[in-house]
């Protein structure tokens, strides 16, 4: 019956992460998957999460099915975090927000929902984008095309070319944007560029689908939400997928949310209803535990302060690691190429290493970066940064 089924070629990120797990070399370094680890190379359990978890343990509650849209406390706290407590769209009840299975689940629920109501649209992703964006939207039945984004020669943004392409899209096109800490390049739009882009998208009658997986890892929780809030304020129909995998270090709990900014409260309530139907058709309703922790942290002032402070420390550690690797690689690279390590933001740097160089780095030195050249800077620490820099320098010399 199943003899015609091809072998799965594997996922470029998760596959490499699994290969890392199987690699027996003691000195191996994982800079492939987007995970934040501390200076000891461990996934942190954040202080606020630990406290929320302890409180949850002393108050063991029943686990009923949650509503299809998730718990109201979680949905409200997330909406306030993403859009700002006093945003007009929020005050006017124009945002439909659902709890989802991480950011990936939000993307898929959003994609399925949009496919039903905009069956002829094309999805436009940045060139390049997170590998799974294309997979999710194609799996939902959309054709996917790419708009110009990363400038390989400068390590910056091709903003004019991006704008020109987006300004010519047909109505109802869906434009996937990264709110901050662009994955995989680490290159973001400036605030002025978002302000230029928003009215263009509004005028074209396109839908902005914003992926915000790294809120707090760029310039801070508020600054990183600038894109989302600018688009919402400009009246662009905006869909937002956000995730707490990274900024709560709750990867396996699959805590995320999907929000759709609508023109009126009535529209939002119909969108909300149809989104819950989309959830029912996928997985019925989301799980309880992780969302309970997130809601407790966001809704308890002392825990919230502790979380924000620790997140700030994680952001600073990444910046330090960028500076450390930059200092070690600067003698081996052109000024432009070296500058990328400190200029790009968030967890990732697009190193410019070729697939063959990434293979050599992995095979010869046990240093894992994606074959696209993406490095997870958050995997560097004071003990492995020398090894990694030496390995990169050797690979560069040999090629």
In the range 182-241, which residues lie near ligand LMR by CB under 6 A? 183
Distance CA 352, CA 374 (A): 8
Q: Smallest gap, in angstroms, from Cβ of residue 79 to ligand LMR?
A: 22
Q: By rule CB under 6 A, what count of residues binds ligand LMR?
A: 6
Percentages (nearest 5) of helix, strand, coil residues in the chain? 50, 15, 35
Contact at 8 Å (CB) between 171 and 237? no
Q: Which residue among 124, 211, 224, 307 is the active-site one?
A: 211
Site string for ligand LMR, 3-42 (x = CB under 6 A): ----------x-------------------xx--------
Chosen residue from 130, 209, 217, 248 binding ligand LMR by CB under 6 A: 130
Q: Smallest gap, in angstroms, from Cβ of residue 76 to ligand LMR?
A: 26
Contact at 8 Å (CB) between 215 and 208? no
Backbone angles phi, psi at 213, to 5 degrees: -100, -5
CA dihedral 68, 71, 77, 79 (to 10 degrees): 10
The residue among 13 and 353 lying less far from ligand LMR, judged by its C-beta, is: 13
Q: Smallest gap, in angstroms, from Cβ of residue 356 to ligand LMR?
A: 21
Q: Smallest gap, in angstroms, from Cβ of residue 366 to ligand LMR?
A: 19
Contact at 8 Å (CB) between 278 and 270? no
> Cβ-closest residue to ligand LMR?
34
The residue among 132 and 195 lying less far from ligand LMR, judged by its C-beta, is: 132
Contact at 8 Å (CB) between 285 and 279? yes
Contact at 8 Å (CB) between 253 and 43? no
Distance CA 336, CA 298 (A): 40
307 is catalytic: no
Site string for ligand LMR, 58-77 (x = CB under 6 A): --------------------
Site string for ligand LMR, 138-177 (x = CB under 6 A): ----------------------------------------
Quick one: how far is CA 247 from the chain centroid? 10
Backbone angles phi, psi at 355, to 5 degrees: -60, -40
**Residues near ligand LMR (CB under 6 A):** 13, 33-34, 130, 132, 183
Catalytic residues: 130, 211, 246
């Amino acid at each position: 019956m199943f003899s015609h089924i091809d072998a799965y070629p594997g996922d470029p990120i998760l596959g490499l992460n699994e290969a890392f797990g199987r690699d027996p070399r003691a000195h191996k370094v994982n800079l492939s998957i987007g995970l934040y680890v501390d200076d000891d190379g461990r996934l942190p359990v954040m202080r606020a999460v630990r406290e929320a978890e302890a409180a949850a343990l002393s108050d063991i509650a029943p686990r009923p099915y949650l509503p299809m849209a998730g718990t109201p406390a979680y949905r409200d706290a997330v909406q306030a975090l993403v859009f700002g407590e006093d945003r007009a769209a929020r005050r006017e009840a124009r945002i439909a927000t659902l709890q989802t299975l991480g950011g990936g689940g939000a993307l898929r629920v959003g994609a399925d929902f949009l496919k039903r109501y905009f069956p002829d649209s094309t999805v436009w992703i940045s060139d390049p984008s997170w590998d799974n964006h294309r997979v999710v939207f194609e799996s939902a039945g959309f054709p996917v095309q790419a708009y110009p984004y990363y400038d390989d020669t400068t390590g910056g943004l091709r903003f004019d070319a991006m704008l020109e392409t987006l300004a010519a899209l047909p109505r109802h096109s869906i434009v996937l944007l990264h709110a901050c800490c662009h994955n995989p390049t680490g290159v973001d739009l400036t605030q002025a560029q978002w302000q230029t882009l928003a009215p263009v998208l509004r005028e074209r009658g396109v839908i902005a689908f914003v992926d915000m997986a790294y809120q707090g890892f760029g310039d801070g929780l508020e600054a990183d939400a600038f894109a989302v809030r600018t688009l919402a304020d400009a009246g662009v129909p905006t869909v937002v997928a956000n995730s707490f995998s990274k900024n709560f270090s709750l990867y396996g709990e699959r805590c995320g949310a999907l929000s759709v900014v609508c023109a009126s409260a009535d529209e939002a309530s119909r969108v909300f209803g149809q989104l819950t139907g989309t959830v029912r058709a996928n997985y019925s309703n989301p799980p309880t535990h992780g969302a309970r922790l997130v809601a407790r942290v966001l809704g308890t002032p002392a825990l919230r302060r502790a979380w924000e402070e620790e997140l700030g420390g994680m952001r600073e550690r990444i910046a330090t690691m960028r500076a450390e690797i930059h200092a070690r690689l600067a003698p081996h690279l052109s000024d432009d190429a070296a500058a990328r390590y400190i200029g790009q933001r968030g967890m990732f740097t697009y190193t410019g290493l070729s697939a063959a160089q990434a293979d050599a780095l992995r095979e010869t030195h046990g240093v894992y970066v994606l074959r696209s050249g993406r490095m997870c800077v958050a995997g560097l620490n004071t003990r492995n940064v020398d090894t990694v820099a030496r390995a990169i320098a050797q690979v560069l010399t040999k090629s």
